[in-house]
Structure 1
Amino acid sequence: MLWSSIATVAALTAIVNGQYESSPPYYPAPWMRGGNGWADAYEKAQAFVSKLTLLEKVNLTTGVGWEGGPCVGNTGTIPRLNFPGICLQDSPLGVRDTDFNSAFPAGVNVAATWSTRLFKSRGNAMGMEHRGKGIDVQLGPVAGPLGRAPEGGRNWEGFSPDPVLTGVAMAETIQGIQDAGVIACAKHYIMNEQEANRQSTDTVEFAYSANLDDKTLHELYMWPFADAVRAGAGAIMCSYNQINNSYGCQNSYTLNYLLKNELDFQGFVTSDWWAQHTGVASALAGLDMTMAGDQNLNSGDTFWGSNLTAAVLNGTIPQWRLDDMVVRIMSAYYKVGRDTASVPTNFNSWSLETNGYRFPEANESFQQINWHVNVQDDHAKLIREIGGASTVLLKNTKKTLPLSKPKSVAVIGYDAHDNPGGPNSCSDRGCDNGTLAMGWGSGTANFPYLIAPNTALKAQAAHDGSKYTNVSNNYDFAAVAKAVTGAEVAIVFANADSGEGFITVDGNEGDRKNLTLWGGGDALIAYVASIHPNVVVVLHTVGPVIVEAIKQHPNVTAILWAGLPGQETGNAITDVLYGNVNPQAKSVFTWGKTREDFGTDVTYEFPSDPPQLNFPEGVFIDYRHFDAAGIEPSYEFGFGLSYTTYSYSNLKITKQNPGPYEPTTGMTSAAPTFGTIDYNPAHAEFPPGFHAVPQYVYPYISGPVPTGLPQNWPAGSRDGSPQPKVPAGGSGGGNRQLWDVMYTVSATVTNTGSVKGTEIAQLYISLGGPTDPKIVLRGFDDLILSPGESGTFSYDITRRDISNWDTVSQNWVISNYPKKVYVGASSRNLPLSGVLA
C-alpha cells in the first residue's frame, strides 16, 4: 500500500488546502515561431496572411455556425483569394455523417494490437478517406479522456489509460493522418475524463472542474499530448470542462503556458463545439479558432465574428494576437500540404440526400449537396486485420481454441447478430441492438456494411460442414437450451456499451452506470455454462467489465475480448476463433474483480456548483493503482494469451552518455504582425445590399464600435515584446534533451511453441521513489516469430523515461532513487530485470 497511500494523501491534502483549486494566469499567448519542422509552412502562411484584410482574418478564426456549411465545423471563406474556408469533420474512427466511407476499429482496439505499424496504417487510411471527402481537419485522435475511470463514456475513442501507450498511438496516428494531407486535431485537451456534467445542465450552471496537482498533470495526462505535439499535430481541441476552476478553452495556464510554451505547440487551438464562454478573454488565453462559431446551438450569436472584428478595431485585441491565430491555422494547412491535397467538399453532414438546402436551418439555396464519393479503397482488409490483431485471448483451457471443423456450433446472444433495423438505424449509434462494433456519439461513422459474427460464423460452418444453430434473444432460455444441446461448442456473445453524454441509452447518459454486461449478458453466460461443458465467451465491450465469475467457471473454456472492431467484426472474430489469425493482442486496461478495485469512478452527481471533480489518486490509475494497493486483478494490464508460447532471456543494458540536461534559456523575438489593419469601422460593415443568411456568423459589424471600455484585462495579456523562454520547453513536446538516450536495453524473445505468432514484448521501469508507481510502461514492440525462432527486443530509454516532474524547479529531473528495468509479457509477468546504474 506504500505507493498508493503516500501519493493519495499528498494529492488530496493539496486539493483540500486549495493549492490546486485555481489555475494560475499566464500571459501573453505565445506567438508561433515556425520551429520543429514548421519553417516552410510558416513561411507560406506568413505570405498568405499578409494579403488578408481584417474581415478575412476574422473569417478564418470563426466558425459560421451550426449547419452553416457542409461539414460539422466550417470557418468563413475568402472569396477574393478563392479560399473556401476550413472544413472540420468527425471522427477519430472514420468520416462521420456521410456515405461510401469505412467504419474503422475504435482507438481502444488499435491500441490493443500494440503495433506501431497498425497505428500509423489506420491513421493514414482514415486520413485518406477524410481527404477524399474534401475535409481539411480530422477531429481526432483522442488522448482525453485518458481513461481515469473505467466507466467513462468516451474512453473507447482513445487508446488506453496508460499515457505511454496512448502517446505512441497518438503520435503514429497523427503522422498517418497528416501524411495523407489532412490536419489531425488531437483532443480533448485536457482532463475531459467523464461525460457527467462536462457541460452546464438543468441542475448545474457550470461544467465540472477537474482539480489536480502539477505533478499528476505532467506525468500522466499531459504525456500523450506532448507526444502529439512532438509528432507535429496541426490542431488541438480544447475541452468543455474546467481545469482547476478555469474553462479549458480560456485557461491561460493550460493553453498559453503548458501547450504553447512548455510543449512549444506550433499549430492552432480550436474549441470543442460551444466550449467557448468568452470573446476577448478566450483570445488572450490562447484560443485560435472557435467552433461551431455561434454561442450555442443555432443561436446566431457569436463571441467572435463581428465581436472579434470590433475588439481589434477598438484596440482591445492587438493585431499580433489575431495574426498569430490565423498564421497558426494556415501553417497547419500548409504543413500537411492542403494547398495541393485538397478537393472540394463533396458531402453534407446534415443530409444523405443528393439534393438539399445548403443552409438547412434557413431553408436557403436548394442545390446538389452530396456527390456520394466512394473513399473506401481497400481499407476493409486493414480493418479486418486490426480486428483480429486487437482481439485479446484472455482464457483458453482444454485446447478449446482454435476451432477445427467442429461437428456442431451454437452461437448465442444478440451481440452476435445484426441490428434488425440495420447497422445505422440509430443516429450516431445511439442504441445497443445487435452486435456492438463502435460506441455512440460524435466519435462514430456510418457503417458501409457490418458483417455480424453470426453471418461470418454461419459461413464458416457451412464451409466446414458443421451443424449450426443460433439464438439472438438473450432472455429466451428455452430456445438457448435447445440450440446448445448436443453442440460441440457453444459460443456466447455479450457486450457493454457507452458513448457521448448527449445521448442516453438504457439510462446510461454517456458514462456507464456499472461494469456489468448489458442485456442480461452475465445471466446468459452463466445459464449456458450451467448446461454446456464447452462455452466460449466473446465480449464486445468499451472497456473492462467484471468477469471473475465467468473466468472461474470450469465450463467456460475460453474468453476473448473483441472490443469495438468496426465493420469487419464478424470476419475478424472468425479469423481468431478458427486459428487463421493467432492472437497477439494484449489488454490495454486492467480487469478488476469488483468495481471498487479500480479506486476511481465517475462522479454522477455533485453537491456544489461549480461541480468540483477532485483527482486525489494522482498518477495512480489502472495498473498503477492495482500494483500500489496490492490488488489482484482478474487480468492485468498488458495480458494476453496466444496459440503458441514464448520465453524471455538474455537481458542486456548498455549505458549511454548524452551529457547533462540543460534547461532552455533566453528570450523569444517580439510578436510579429503580417499585413496592415484598416481601422476604419465603416469598412468593416455589411456591404450595401448584402443578403445575410439567418443564423449564419459573419465578421461584419453593425453599428458603431464600442470604445472607452474598461481596460482591466490580465496583466501582460496584450504584451507583444520578447518573452522569457520556459526552461522545460524549447522544442516540440518539451525540452529536446528529454529525448536523449540514456540506456539501451535488449532481450531475446523465443517462440517455444508450434505455431507462428506475434509476441508483444513490454518494458517497464521502476523510478524508485516512495511516491512513484511500482512500475510504469515505457516501451514495447511486436515481434513476429516462427516456431523455434528467436528475435531481439530492443528499446532506447530516454531521459524523459526516467524523469519525474519537479514542481519546485518546474522541470523534469532524474531523482537519486535507484531505478530498475523489467522486460516481459505483461505488467505482472516480467521475468527479466536489471538495475539502471
Structure 2
Amino acid sequence: MILTPSLALIITGVLVATLTGRTHSARIYSNSTQKLESFPSPIGGRLSSQTELDLAWADAYEQAWDLVSQMTLLEKVNLTSGTGWEMGPCVGNTGEIPRLNFPSLCLQDGPLGIRFTELNSVFPAGLATGATWNKALMYTRGQALGQEFKAKGINVLLGPSMGPLGRAPEGGRNWEGFGTDPYLQGIGAYETVQGIQDVGVVATAKHFLLNEQEHFRQAAESSGFGYSDPMAYSGNTDGRALREIYAWPFAEAIRAGAGAVMCAYNAVNDTQACENSYLLNHILKDELGFQGYVMSDWLAQRSGVNSVIAGMDMSMPGDGESWADGIPFLAANLTLAALNGSIPLWRIDDMAVRILAAHYLVKQNPRNYTKPNFSSWTLVDNDDLYPGSPSKTPYGLVNQHVDARSSLSRRVTRQIATESMVLVKNQNSYLPLKSVKRMSIIGSAAGPFSLGPNGCENRGCNNGTLATGWGSGSVNYAYLATPFEVINMRAFSEGFGIDYSFDDYDLDSATVLAEASDVAIVFVTSDSGEGFLTVEDNLGDRNDLDLWHNGDELITTVASSNNNTIVVIESVGGVNMEAWIDNENITAVLYALVPGQDIGFGISDVLFGDANPSGRLPFTVARNKSDYPATVEYTMTSRQPQLNFSEGIFIDYRHFDRESIEPRYEFGFGMSYTTFEISNFSVELSSDANTDLEAPLPGNYSNPTLLNSSLPNATDTVYPDDIPRYKKFIYPYLTSSEADGIKYDEDAYPYPSGYNTTQKSVPHPAGGASGGNPALFDYLVNATAQVGNTGNLSGAEVVQLYLSYPDLLNVEFPVKSLRGFEKISLQPNETSTVQFWLTRKDLSYFDVVRDNWVLPRGNFSVYIGNSSRSNALAGRFSID
C-alpha cells in the first residue's frame, strides 16, 4: 500500500514511508527484451549534437545554471513543488523565490484554450485541427493559443495533447489529440509546440504514456469494484509499438522544442508512469534527448524518492495521496530526502535547472513576465488569494478581466471551424444548398443550451450544440455561435423560410416539419470527456459508438418524410451510422468534430457553399464496433486492471488493412464540391543517401555541469518565524522536531534494482539530440506529384503519401503507413506540384533486439492519393 506521507516516520534518518511508494516488477508485455529500469536520470544540458535547437538549449542552460547556482536548497524545492490545489490563481502554481525576485510559475489548462477564465477563445479541439490536415493552420493555432495564455500571465500551457492517440474509438479524451495515426498526430504536435513557444509560452506534451482510456486511469476511479487499495490500470505494450505508435508524436513535440512533458496517471508495464525510470530516464531523456522538465499530471505522482530518481522533475499540483489534502510527496519531503541522503543533491539541482532552462529557451524570464491577472476559482474582482485553505488567507484583487482575444485568434477559430468540416456523403451533389425556400432544422444539437453555453461545469453535459467535449480540456465560452443562430440569420438575409424543433424525442413534430420543408437538416451528437465526470452514464469514455439522444430514430423518422435530408454529426469521434447511412433520402452527411466557438459558422459555410469542404477524417469509421482492433476496458477484474495492447502497431487503418476489413469511411477520407486529379508521380532515392542498417552513432555527451551545491544545516530548513502558515498550503520547510531527527546516509534508502548515479558518456544509439538521433531525420527519398483542380470551383485537396515496406522474415509491417501529406488550394484548371521528403525514421522500424531504429533491406512502394484506401502507386525504390 501507499503510506500517508507523514514526516513523523523517519527510520535511521532515511524517509521510507513517505517517499517509497509502490515498486512493481519490471514486466515487459510481448517479446521485447528491453529492461524497464534505467538509472540515473540523465542530467539536462548534456548535448552531443549541434542542431539549431540544441544550441538554443545550450544557451538556455547557461542562464539556468547561473540562476540555480544562487539558490538555496529550499528555493530549489520551491521551484519543483506545487503549492497545492486552489493555492494560487492557476490550476498549478510553484513556490516563489522572493530573495531572487523569482515569482511563482503559473501552469494552466489546456490544449484548446484557457480553462476557468473569461474573455478568451474556445479554440477548435485537436481533433478538429487534425481534420484540417493543414500544417500552417496547426502552427498558427499554436501561436494564437500562446498569445492568449501570455496575455493572462500564464507561464506554461498544459498542452498539446498527443496521448491518448485514440487506440480505442470510445476513448474519452481522443478529441483532445489530432487523430489516430502517429504521423498525423506528430505533425500536429510539432506545429502546435512551435507555435506556442514562438510567442514565449512553454508548451507541455501530454500524457506520457499509454493514457488511452478514462476507466481506471486513477486508483480513485477504481473504487467500488470490491478491491481493497485499487490501482490505476497498467497499459502493457512491446518496445516496437511503444516507439512506432505511442511515443512517435512525443518525439516530434520534443524535436519542436517542447519545454515540458506531463507523465500520465496510469501505469506502463506495471510501473506507474511518473515513477517509470525506463519511460522517463531511458526513453524520454536519453533516447529522445528531452532537455526540458517532466511534471506529474495532477496527483499522478504516487511516490517521492522513486519518482524523482526515475526522472520526474515537478510535482503538480503539489498535493499527494488525495485531492487537495495539502500533504505532499515532495516539498518538505524533498528537503528531508536531500538532507538524509535519499536523493542526491545533483538530482535536485537538475530538476531546478531543467525547469528554468525550458523557460529561458522560449525567451521567457519569469521575473519580468506578466503576472497572472485572473483567478481559476472565481470571476469576481476580489476574493481570497488561497481559496483552498481553511485558514484565513490574504484577500485582494484576483481578476482584472483582461480580454486575451486577438484578431489572430478570431481568424484562426473561424478558419479551423470551417476547414475541419468533413463531408462524407453528398448524393447527386446535393450540397451546397441552392434555391432553398423552406428549411427545417431538427435536433437539440442545432441550438443553444437553456442554461447558457457555460451552464454545466467543465462542459459536463450534452445539451445544445456540441462544440467541445468535457473535462479539464474544456474552456468557458465568451460566445458560442450555434448552427441554428447562424442559419437563422441567413434565412433573414436571404429570405427563405425556416422552422425548427430542438426536441430529440418529439418524432411527431419532426415528421410534420420534415414534410413541410424542401430540405430537412438533422443535428445529432456523440460526446465524451475526462473520467472525473460522468455524463449520461458515460464515465469519460463513451459507452458505445451510438448517437446520443435518440439520434438514429430521429434521423430515420425525418428521412422517411423528406427526400432531401441532411445529417450533421457533432461528435468527438466516429459513430455507428449503419442504421441510416444507405437511406437514399439522406442526401448528405457532414462531420463536425468539436470545432469550438465558431461551430455554427463552420457548418453554415459548408452547407451553403461559402467554403468548399476540405476536412478529412483523422480516424477510421467502421461499419461495426467489432471491426476496431481495440476497445475500452469497462470492467475491473483485478486490483490493477491489465490493458494488453496486443494489437501492437496495428491500430486504426493499419488494422483494417491488415485484416481486409472494409470500413464505412476510411482514414483520410473527405469529399469536396470540386474534383481533383493527382498525376505525374516520381519517387527517387537520394544518390548520397546513407542506407546503412542503422544510423551513424551520435557523438558523446558533453561533460555534466555540476553546481557544487552543498547541503544546508538541518536547522536552516526549519519554518522561519516571519513566514505566515496557511493550512493546506505546501511549503518546503521542516519543523524543528523533524530537523532534529535527520541523519545523512546515502546507502540506507531501499533503492530499486539497478539504481546507480554514474552518468552515461554516450547517448542511446537512437538518441543524441532533441527528438532522437539527428541522422534519423536525414532525407533519403524524394517523391513528387502533380495535383490539378479539374472541377468548376476553387477548393483544397489533401494529398497523402503512404509507404509500404519490404517483406522481412519475422518482421510484420502495415500494408501502408502514412508518411506525408500536404494541403493544396487550387483554382479551377490550376495545377500544382507537391513534394515529399522521407526521412530515415520514416523508412525504418524499431528493432527491440538491436534496441534501435533499423532501415530494412528490400523493395519499398510509395502510394499517393487522397485517403488511406484511395491512392495510386507512385513508384518503388530499393535499399540493398
**Displacement of 1:529:** 0.5
Confirm or deny that 1:627 pairs with 2:657.
yes
Confirm or deny that 1:59 pairs with 2:78.
yes
Q: In terms of mean alpha carbon deviation, does 708-717 or 478-487 score higher?
A: 708-717
Instruction: Name the residue aligned to 2:354.
Output: 328
Match of 1:195 among 200, 205, 214: 214
Q: Tell me the secondary structure at the aligned position of residue 551 of structure 1.
A: coil
Instruction: Name the residue aligned to 1:9.
Output: none
Aligned counterparts of 1:21 and 1:476: Cα–Cα separation in 2: 59
Identity of aligned residues (%): 46
Aligned counterparts of 2:173 and 2:734: Cα–Cα separation in 1: 39
Instruction: Name the residue aligned to 1:793.
Output: 834
Aligned counterparts of 2:708 and 2:67: Cα–Cα separation in 1: 10
CA 1:150–1:627: 2 relative to 1, 3 Å: same
Match of 1:375 among 385, 404, 412: 404
**Displacement of 1:72:** 0.1
Q: Tell me the secondary structure at the aligned position of residue 534 of structure 2.
A: coil
Aligned counterparts of 2:30 and 2:824: Cα–Cα separation in 1: 48
Q: Tell me the secondary structure at the aligned position of residue 579 of structure 2.
A: helix
Does structure 2 retain, via aligned residues, the 8 Å contact 1:49–1:675?
Answer: no
1:166-200: CA deviations, max 9, x gaps? Answer: 00000000000001110000000000000000011
Match of 1:706 among 742, 755, 759: 742
Aligned counterparts of 1:355 and 1:675: Cα–Cα separation in 2: 45
Q: Superposition pairs for residues 109-258 of structure 1, below 5 Å?
A: 109-200=128-219, 201-202=222-223, 203=225, 204=227, 205-258=230-283
Does structure 2 retain, via aligned residues, the 8 Å contact 1:29–1:717?
Answer: no
CA 1:718–1:85: 2 relative to 1, 3 Å: farther
Instruction: Name the residue aligned to 2:19.
Output: none
**Displacement of 1:662:** 3.8
Confirm or deny that 1:312 pairs with 2:338.
yes
Match of 1:27 among 28, 39, 42: 39
Instruction: Name the residue aligned to 1:5.
Output: none
Aligned counterparts of 1:409 and 1:615: Cα–Cα separation in 2: 48
**Displacement of 1:367:** 1.1
**Displacement of 1:565:** 1.1
Match of 1:350 among 365, 377, 400: 377
Aligned AA for 2:657? D
Match of 1:693 among 726, 730, 745: 726
**Displacement of 1:768:** 2.8
Q: In terms of mean alpha carbon deviation, does 698-707 or 67-76 score higher?
A: 698-707
Match of 2:327 among 280, 294, 301: 301
Confirm or deny that 1:724 pairs with 2:762.
yes
Aligned counterparts of 1:803 and 1:268: Cα–Cα separation in 2: 28
Instruction: Name the residue aligned to 1:386.
Output: 416
Aligned counterparts of 2:361 and 2:759: Cα–Cα separation in 1: 27
| Unmatched segments (≥5 aa) in structure 1 | 1-13
Instruction: Name the residue aligned to 1:68.
Output: 87
Does structure 2 retain, via aligned residues, the 8 Å contact 1:21–1:211?
Answer: no
Instruction: Name the residue aligned to 1:10.
Output: none
CA 1:662–1:830: 2 relative to 1, 3 Å: closer
Aligned counterparts of 1:351 and 1:782: Cα–Cα separation in 2: 42
Aligned AA for 2:127? V
**Displacement of 1:666:** 5.9
**Displacement of 1:318:** 1.3
Instruction: Name the residue aligned to 1:106.
Output: 125
CA 1:194–1:265: 2 relative to 1, 3 Å: same
Confirm or deny that 1:835 pairs with 2:876.
yes
Does structure 1 retain, via aligned residues, the 8 Å contact 2:440–2:498?
Answer: yes
**Displacement of 1:632:** 0.6
Aligned counterparts of 2:549 and 2:137: Cα–Cα separation in 1: 32
Match of 2:308 among 283, 295, 299: 283
1:244-283: CA deviations, max 9, x gaps? Answer: 0000000000000000000000000000000111111111
Aligned AA for 2:203? A
1:746-795: CA deviations, max 9, x gaps? Answer: 00111010000000000000013361110000000010111011111110
Aligned AA for 2:836? Y
Q: Tell me the secondary structure at the aligned position of residue 835 of structure 2.
A: strand
Does structure 2 retain, via aligned residues, the 8 Å contact 1:23–1:246?
Answer: no
Match of 2:464 among 434, 443, 456: 434
Does structure 2 retain, via aligned residues, the 8 Å contact 1:64–1:76?
Answer: yes
Aligned counterparts of 1:548 and 1:183: Cα–Cα separation in 2: 44
Aligned AA for 1:604? Y
Aligned counterparts of 2:568 and 2:111: Cα–Cα separation in 1: 25
**Displacement of 1:23:** 5.9
Instruction: Name the residue aligned to 1:819.
Output: 860
Instruction: Name the residue aligned to 2:795.
Output: 757
**Displacement of 1:297:** 1.2
**Displacement of 1:721:** 4.4
Q: In terms of mean alpha carbon deviation, does 543-552 or 304-313 score higher?
A: 543-552
**Displacement of 1:668:** 3.3
Q: Normalized against structure 2, the TM-score is what? A: 0.92
Does structure 1 retain, via aligned residues, the 8 Å contact 2:339–2:743?
Answer: no
**Displacement of 1:722:** 4.6
Q: Tell me the secondary structure at the aligned position of residue 706 of structure 1.
A: coil
Does structure 1 retain, via aligned residues, the 8 Å contact 2:28–2:238?
Answer: no
CA 1:449–1:23: 2 relative to 1, 3 Å: farther
Does structure 1 retain, via aligned residues, the 8 Å contact 2:486–2:601?
Answer: yes
Q: Tell me the secondary structure at the aligned position of residue 550 of structure 1.
A: coil
Q: Tell me the secondary structure at the aligned position of residue 371 of structure 1.
A: coil
Does structure 1 retain, via aligned residues, the 8 Å contact 2:519–2:564?
Answer: yes
Aligned counterparts of 2:508 and 2:531: Cα–Cα separation in 1: 37
Q: Superposition pairs for residues 549-568 of structure 1, below 5 Å?
A: 549-568=579-598
Q: In terms of mean alpha carbon deviation, does 311-320 or 582-591 score higher?
A: 311-320
**Displacement of 1:377:** 1.3
Aligned counterparts of 1:526 and 1:601: Cα–Cα separation in 2: 28
Aligned AA for 1:375? A
**Displacement of 1:678:** 3.9
**Displacement of 1:550:** 2.6
**Displacement of 1:485:** 2.1
Aligned counterparts of 2:596 and 2:780: Cα–Cα separation in 1: 40
Alignment root-mean-square deviation, CA: 1.7
Instruction: Name the residue aligned to 1:359.
Output: 386
- How many pairs does the alignment contain? 824
1:299-329: CA deviations, max 9, x gaps? Answer: 1111111110111112221121111101110
Aligned counterparts of 1:91 and 1:17: Cα–Cα separation in 2: 32
**Displacement of 1:675:** 5.6
Does structure 2 retain, via aligned residues, the 8 Å contact 1:435–1:452?
Answer: yes
Aligned AA for 2:104? G
Does structure 2 retain, via aligned residues, the 8 Å contact 1:669–1:721?
Answer: no
Instruction: Name the residue aligned to 1:766.
Output: 804
Instruction: Name the residue aligned to 1:782.
Output: 823
Instruction: Name the residue aligned to 2:286.
Output: 261
Does structure 1 retain, via aligned residues, the 8 Å contact 2:81–2:315?
Answer: yes
Aligned counterparts of 1:122 and 1:586: Cα–Cα separation in 2: 18
1:679-734: CA deviations, max 9, x gaps? Answer: 20011110125321110110111122533662332366451445432111111111
| Unmatched segments (≥5 aa) in structure 2 | 1-25, 48-53
**Displacement of 1:30:** 0.4
Q: Superposition pairs for residues 579-728 of structure 1, below 5 Å?
A: 579-656=609-686, 657-659=688-690, 660=692, 661-664=694-697, 667-674=700-707, 676-702=709-735, 703-704=738-739, 705-707=741-743, 710-714=748-752, 717-728=755-766
Confirm or deny that 1:91 pairs with 2:110.
yes
Match of 2:430 among 389, 397, 400: 400
Does structure 1 retain, via aligned residues, the 8 Å contact 2:293–2:355?
Answer: yes
